[in-house]
């Protein structure tokens, strides 16, 4: 990987925590009182990163230590870093809370941000993963890493009060294996996968609102998946997000790769194969197979950058290989940072925030060897459930993520979306792709009872083109699928801002498009509208113009994951 690769994501107010397990050597961690005093000191860490370990970086971090932690009464550790564009201060709430509850917490600024040296990378195991592993060395008792100054002239002795494990998760024993978990959201979420893939001493991770495959995050294609959300053909670029991430018209210094990606897609309408490979190589999708420790994932339902499909792809991949994995879909995400009523980002409060209560129980189980309940395998927030007090009342729970029962709706030639296959009328409808593309829509009758959707809808259509597609990415037809909630007065709202592009290179077979996952109630009197368009706000308009025809009728369907009925 070239040393000038960098990318940035916005600082995210929400962040995460983690926990871990392995055989541990005596003495066991002390059980502290519910809240206690702690001390905090700012340190600088000498790290060597990159494929050849020749890139030297100064990482700045704050070490939070319970005052009663000692070699005789050791405590487990948490490692926390920020969402990109932030700093160690962004995750100070984890240091403040968990240090008061018996954890040593090292909150650090990620590479290239918040006072840390070098540049921002794509959460590469060779860069960000190695930097995190160096901090694990420090927590495990390795000296010569920590200093009081950025020039690394005033050394600090490594801690002797962190619980040690007998073996790491590869079965190897060593003198510097701390009981440690990781925390963080967005960039600080994906770095956990990178670090755990590199360092088997890390015992558990709890990534929040993060990605599975950056090529899908930035250039999503809802059809032709090869694995998870990954596709052989790139989709439609998220121009709006790319501009925000790169700093708009004038690209920020150090954003070479993202600016290059933006420039290429603005000319071609799609990235080069080398750019896709670069994005995917530094994504969890490429190294999930190395993650064998317990994972508690948390994703935002209101997130147009890293949608629920990405969390589901990681969740499915981890569970398929036998990794202990649980998943929570919370309200807030990159698009809307406001959490559910009564909850609050920026603080750790298990009584206030459902995800905090789940994480604190998770840490007790996997960092302290507790035997408490870590909660259901899957939980999803339902904004239509009123509650006071315990926010858990608004969460649906299940043993797996397939909570919805498939309900098939058919696209009728008279623009209705109906549940009766026999009632779907034939009738050709045509849309145009490209700049200023046109749109088609199908709408249900007003609901008699609430229609609750939780999961990933799938649209299957047969398309024909006025001019045959030649099979190339450049000549592909790009369409955008979206779902709207239509009120009784006829006004409509795009559900959670979610739009799902599909780049189609051939039309011989039915096309199935995985829409962005959602959790939403269509209230009584409201209707659900499916829209298929040739362009969409926030995305690069495809340069290839095609006239596509949908022969509406029983072969065209939308499958909804419906819960509660």
DSSP string, 204-230: EE--BS--S-HHHHHS--SS-EEETTE
Nearest alpha carbon to residue 443 among 528, 533, 523, 525: 528
Q: What is the pLDDT of residue 542?
A: 78
Q: What is the mean pLDDT of residues 14-43?
A: 51
pTM greater than the 0.85 cutoff: yes
Nearest alpha carbon to residue 10 among 191, 219, 240, 241: 241
Nearest alpha carbon to residue 228 among 156, 286, 170: 286
Answer whether 469's CB lies under 8 Å from 505's CB.
yes
Tell me which long-range contacts 174-179 makes (C-beta under 8 A, separation of at least 24): 174/201, 175/140, 175/141, 176/137, 176/140, 176/141, 176/142, 176/201, 177/22, 177/140, 177/201, 178/77, 178/136, 178/139, 178/140, 178/141, 179/20, 179/22, 179/24, 179/29, 179/76, 179/77, 179/203, 179/367
pLDDT band of 252, cuts 50, 70, 90:
low
Place of tokens 């649906």: 396
Ranges 66-75, 112-121, 466-475, most confident: 66-75
Give the orientation angle of helix 187-198 with respect to helix 130-139, to 10 degrees. Answer: 70
pLDDT band of 245, cuts 50, 70, 90:
confident
Contacts of 90 (CB under 8 A, 6+ apart): 11, 13, 15, 82, 83, 114
Query: Cα–Cα distance between 143 and 366 in angstroms, integer?
Result: 26
- 3-state DSSP assignment of residue 78: strand
Q: What is the pLDDT of residue 262?
A: 80
Query: Cα–Cα distance between 444 and 28 in angstroms, integer?
Result: 60
Residue 455 pairs in a beta bridge with: 518
**Mean pLDDT across the chain, nearest whole number?**
89
Place of tokens 């909660």: 375
Q: What is the mean pLDDT of residues 389-394?
A: 88
Answer whether 343's CB lies under 8 Å from 388's CB.
no
Q: How does pLDDT run across 159-181, given as a tens digit for each residue? A: 999 999 999 999 999 999 999 99
How crowded is residue 161: how many other Cβ atoms within 10 Å of its Cβ?
Answer: 20
Q: What is the pLDDT of residue 255?
A: 60
Q: What is the pLDDT of residue 340?
A: 84
- 3-state DSSP assignment of residue 439: strand
Query: Cα–Cα distance between 207 and 185 in angstroms, integer?
Result: 6
Answer whether 559's CB lies under 8 Å from 445's CB.
no
Q: What is the pLDDT of residue 29?
A: 35
Q: What is the pLDDT of residue 25?
A: 32
- 3-state DSSP assignment of residue 304: coil
């Amino acid at each position: 990987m070239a040393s000038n690769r960098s990318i940035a994501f916005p600082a995210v107010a929400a962040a995460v925590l983690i926990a871990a397990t392995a055989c541990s050597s005596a003495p066991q961690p002390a059980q502290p009182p519910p809240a206690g005093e702690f001390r905090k000191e700012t340190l600088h860490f000498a790290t060597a990163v990159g494929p050849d370990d020749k890139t030297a970086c100064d990482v700045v971090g704050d070490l939070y230590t319970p005052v009663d932690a000692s070699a005789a009464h050791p405590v487990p550790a948490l490692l926390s870093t920020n969402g990109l564009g932030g700093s160690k201060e962004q995750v100070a709430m984890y240091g403040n809370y968990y240090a008061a509850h018996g954890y040593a917490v090292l909150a650090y600024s990620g590479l290239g941000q918040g006072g840390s040296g070098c540049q921002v990378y794509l959460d590469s195991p060779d860069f960000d993963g190695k930097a995190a592993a160096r901090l694990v060395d420090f927590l495990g008792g390795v000296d010569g890493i920590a200093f009081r100054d950025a020039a690394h002239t005033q050394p600090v002795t490594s801690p002797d009060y962190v619980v040690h494990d007998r073996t790491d998760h590869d079965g190897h024993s060593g003198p510097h294996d701390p009981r440690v978990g990781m925390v963080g959201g967005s960039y600080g979420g994906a770095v956990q996968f990178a670090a755990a893939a590199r360092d088997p001493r890390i015992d558990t991770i709890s990534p929040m609102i993060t990605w599975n495959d950056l090529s899908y995050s930035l250039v999503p294609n809802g059809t032709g998946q090869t694995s998870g959300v990954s596709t052989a053909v790139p989709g439609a670029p998220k121009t709006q997000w790319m501009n925000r991430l790169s700093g708009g018209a004038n690209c920020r210094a150090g954003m070479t790769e993202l600016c290059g990606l933006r420039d290429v897609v603005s000319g071609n309408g799609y990235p080069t194969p080398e750019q896709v490979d670069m994005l995917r190589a530094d994504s969890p999708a490429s190294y999930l197979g190395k993650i064998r420790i317990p994972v508690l994932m948390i994703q935002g339902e209101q997130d147009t950058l890293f949608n629920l499909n990405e969390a589901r792809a990681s969740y499915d991949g981890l569970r398929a290989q036998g990794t202990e994995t649980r998943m929570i879909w919370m309200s807030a995400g990159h698009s809307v940072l406001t959490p559910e009523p009564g909850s609050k980002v920026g603080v750790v409060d298990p009584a206030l925030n459902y995800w905090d209560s789940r994480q604190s129980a998770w840490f007790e189980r996997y960092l302290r060897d507790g035997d408490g309940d870590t909660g259901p395998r899957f939980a999803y927030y339902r904004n239509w459930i009123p509650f006071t007090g315990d926010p858990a009342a608004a969460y649906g729970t299940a043993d797996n993520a397939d909570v919805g029962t498939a309900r098939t709706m058919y696209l009728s030639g008279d623009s209705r979306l109906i549940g009766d296959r026999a009632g779907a009328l034939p009738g050709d409808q045509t849309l145009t792709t490209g700049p200023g593309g046109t749109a088609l829509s199908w709408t249900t009758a007003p609901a008699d009872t609430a229609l609750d959707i939780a999961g990933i809808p799938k649209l299957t259509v047969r398309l024909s083109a006025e001019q045959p597609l030649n099979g190339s990415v450049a000549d592909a037809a790009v369409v955008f699928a979206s779902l709207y909630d239509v009120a009784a007065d006829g006004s409509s709202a795009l559900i959670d801002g979610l739009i799902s592009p599909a780049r189609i290179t051939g039309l011989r077979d039915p096309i199935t498009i995985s829409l962005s996952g959602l959790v939403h109630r269509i209230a009584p009197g409201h209707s659900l509208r499916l829209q298929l368009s040739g362009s969409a706000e926030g995305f690069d308009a495809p340069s290839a113009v095609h006239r596509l025809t949908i022969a509406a009728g029983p072969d065209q369907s939308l499958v909804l994951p419906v819960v509660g009925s």
